[in-house]
Structure 1
Amino acid sequence: MSTTNAQDAVVIGGGFYGAAIAVYLAKQRGMKQVTLIERESSLLSRASYNNQARVHNGYHYPRSYTTAYRSRINLPKFVLDWPEAVKQDFTKLYAIARRNSKVTANQFERFYREIGAKIELASPALRALFEPRLIEEVFLVEEYAFDSTKLAQWALRELQESAVNVRLQTQAIDICQGADQSLNVILAPHGKEKELINSRYVFNCTYSGLNQFGGDFPGTRTGLKQEITEMALMQMPPALNDLGITVMDGPFFSIMPFPARNLHTVSHVRYTPHMHWTDEPGTNPYQKLDKYPRDTRVDRMIRDIGRYLPSVLDSNYADSLFEVKTILTKNEGDDGRPILFEKHESLPGCYSILGGKIDNIYDVLEKLETENLSRSDDTLSEHAK
């Protein structure tokens, strides 16, 4: 087994969160030796790509004040920091179902006016798209989509400028206690012998793979639920092509622009989740996904959505994105999406981090700002005193 030079930090997981945290550690915390580990052949190619591509502004979460409010605060920051990746040139509508909704139109409107989010009644022309017997009200809101391929371009550029060592097609398999308050990470590069990399800090940003490590890694204290999900990619008819639509909150489906493919994603609360299980070490979610047959449920999605939004029946199916979605078990009841930020007491310097939405990155960075993270040169200067 070969050994790599000691690092200030190893970030495991090359999705948006892992890349953003690696850049933050190098630029904001002055760490000179940062390595980013990604098992795939490119960055932001798994959950960061295979999702709804929504930059939330809180409207999705009328039953979780904290998630809704944090989204409203984070959205303008995200637009400011990643303008080239944000698609704003479409009309976003939220509609409230008359039956089986967990919020009424009045509750929905009042909630978002209270938190300062933009909301107004949709025009008669837009309301005419919906079946009035099933839809109570339609609101015009402010919400955007993101292009994950442009975020990946940003990540590559920033990581290079920050001198972060990016290791693709490399899997981290063990995290162990090292000497002198350090951590050892065992790597398995594709087609090569294993390596040992020693680091002061390890940031586990592997999303669905948070608990898939051996060695001394204790697992997360927070319970996680895994789902195999399907996002259908569709070509919308002209009446819907410049729209994003979400129907709340029970029937619950969404049609959102997907800028990376110039299509729309279609998701449905009943048909998007194909199967689920409680996350635990030894049950590899990626292997479950690899073995899953991936039979599309798009016909059932469109058939049900068409009852509320008849013109969707003229859409054309292009493809499906299948991925493992990871959520905190404790938030199943209110649909909240707080971050997971755990410091592992038995492995000092090791953190596990998960975000349910792309704009949660600011919540993670705020937590990191409160951490007393030392660099290798800080340690050397301490020893010199």
Structure 2
Amino acid sequence: MPDYDPDPLCQDAVVIGGGFYGAAIAVYLAGQRGLKRVVLVEQESALMTRASYNNQARVHNGYHYPRSFTTAYRSRVNLPKFVRDWPLAIKQDFTKLYAIARRNSKVTARQFERFCRDIGASIQPADPGLKALFEPRLIEDVYRVEEYAFDTAQLSSWAARELQDSCVQIRYQTRVTSILKGAQAPLQVVMQTSQGHQDVIACRYVFNCTYSGLNQMAGDFPGVSAGLKQEITEMALMQLPASLSDLGITVMDGPFFSMMPFPARGLHTLSHVRYTPHLHWNDQQEINPYQRLDRYERDTRVDRMLRDVGRYIPEVLKAKYIDSLFEVKTVLLKNESDDGRPILFERHLELPGCYSVLGGKIDNIYDVLETLEAEKFFGSDNQGKC
């Protein structure tokens, strides 16, 4: 017999996943769509401790995607909104540089300039002093651009405040195990706490925002139809020398690297296209990505990153390695060739009222919210009946 109430009070919506997307969707449903009973379920003990934290902390402005015009343009549209809506989380007090490699780059400097003009992104030649940081035999040109970083600690504080003000109930250290077609309610969400206690929530709507865990629910949940690729990745946290500490740098476009401020720790992330991904596989329901990450030997590749980056920017060899952030990164298989990062927003027709959401970048949240605007939602009555 189950150790949960077989006839629970019906909730309006259950959002699975307490990352930035899950929190923002829960706040949106409660604050703008009038759903009064919203529950957020998070496997960790706090909000935004997984992929929302363990990443490059970049608010994109389109420069990074010369091979995906749609992704680049959406970033250009979304960045001003993100700066407007989360000003306390935005770090702007650094100079952002994009450099084009002479060899093995998939775009030339001239092509990059034309691309930036096409998407309306600000670009200007870097000052001679900044350009002098780069090895001219390997770098064709260097540009000063407008791009920012975000502070996950600030975003987490915002989420906690807004969820409380919106009366969203949060269940921490709780994992959703299955989603079922309900008998008395449209849907039932079966959960298990870290202490092993099982519970169920009856609800009208479910939003699966579990990122790498999208396909890890059992029951009647059909899984997402899009193919997913999982990667175990490493972001090296570095203390940069004074000559680089006020900079963010990206070398384009191919097997190169980025250094970005990481405001939550007062450091910089160092990522490398060749060395940041440690392991990858096509997503399968029987392979739990987070369990695979837990079992993975987290041997840093920072020495290899620095050795290659130092050829392009010799000053980086003075940097001090502090730590590494290991996480599972999830991307759509269809976008591997063009490096695009669209959202995945899927309505599960076999399970009406159930949605799966995957964001490629933090600013994609506006693409999700715009999509949700077209959906019709109905709340439960005052007695909690569906």
Question: AA paired with 2:313?
Answer: L
Partner of 2:285: 281
Partner of 1:371: 375
Percentage identity across paired residues of the two chains: 70
Asked if the contact 1:235–1:318 (Cα under 8 Å) also holds between the matched residues in 2, the reply is yes
Corresponding position: 1:200 with 2:204: yes
Post-superposition shift, 1:240? 0.3
**CA–CA distance in structure 2, aligned partners of residues 126 and 224 of structure 1:** 39
**CA–CA distance in structure 1, aligned partners of residues 255 and 316 of structure 2:** 16
Question: AA paired with 1:25?
Answer: L
Question: AA paired with 1:105?
Answer: A
Aligned positions of 1:272-311 closer than 5 A: 272-311=276-315
**CA–CA distance in structure 2, aligned partners of residues 197 and 234 of structure 1:** 44
TM-score by length of 1: 0.97
**CA–CA distance in structure 2, aligned partners of residues 168 and 13 of structure 1:** 10
Asked if the contact 2:229–2:333 (Cα under 8 Å) also holds between the matched residues in 1, the reply is yes
Q: Where does structure 2 lack aligned partners over 5 or more consecutive residues?
A: none
Asked if the contact 1:227–1:274 (Cα under 8 Å) also holds between the matched residues in 2, the reply is yes
Question: AA paired with 2:54?
Answer: N
**CA–CA distance in structure 1, aligned partners of residues 55 and 187 of structure 2:** 33
- TM-align CA RMSD: 1.4
Aligned positions of 1:58-97 closer than 5 A: 58-97=62-101
Q: Where does structure 1 lack aligned partners over 5 or more consecutive residues?
A: none
Count of matched residue pairs: 382
Asked if the contact 2:235–2:324 (Cα under 8 Å) also holds between the matched residues in 1, the reply is yes
- Any idea what SS the aligned residue of 1:377 has? coil
Asked if the contact 1:181–1:348 (Cα under 8 Å) also holds between the matched residues in 2, the reply is no
| Deviating 4+ runs (over 6 angstroms) | 378-381
Equivalent residue in structure 2 for 1:2, among 1, 4, 7? 4
Question: AA paired with 2:71?
Answer: T
Partner of 1:346: 350
TM-score by length of 2: 0.97
**CA–CA distance in structure 2, aligned partners of residues 279 and 94 of structure 1:** 33
Equivalent residue in structure 2 for 1:249, among 219, 233, 253? 253
Corresponding position: 1:39 with 2:43: yes
| Alignment CA distance shift 1:312-1:212 (3 Å) | same
Corresponding position: 1:234 with 2:260: no
**Most deviating of 174-183 and 324-333:** 174-183
Aligned positions of 1:89-128 closer than 5 A: 89-128=93-132
Post-superposition shift, 1:377? 3.3
**CA–CA distance in structure 1, aligned partners of residues 231 and 258 of structure 2:** 18
**CA–CA distance in structure 2, aligned partners of residues 379 and 302 of structure 1:** 61
Question: AA paired with 1:148?
Answer: T
Partner of 1:218: 222
Aligned positions of 1:251-270 closer than 5 A: 251-270=255-274
Post-superposition shift, 1:237? 0.4
**CA–CA distance in structure 1, aligned partners of residues 349 and 288 of structure 2:** 24
Post-superposition shift, 1:251? 2.8
| Alignment CA distance shift 1:35-1:229 (3 Å) | same
**CA–CA distance in structure 2, aligned partners of residues 279 and 379 of structure 1:** 41
Partner of 2:321: 317
Which digits, 9 at most, give the CA deviation of each residue in 1:302-338, with x for residues without a partner? Answer: 0000000100000000000000000000000000000
Which digits, 9 at most, give the CA deviation of each residue in 1:261-291, with x for residues without a partner? Answer: 0000000000000000000111000010000
- Any idea what SS the aligned residue of 1:234 has? strand
Corresponding position: 1:130 with 2:134: yes
**CA–CA distance in structure 2, aligned partners of residues 15 and 203 of structure 1:** 12
Asked if the contact 1:223–1:329 (Cα under 8 Å) also holds between the matched residues in 2, the reply is yes
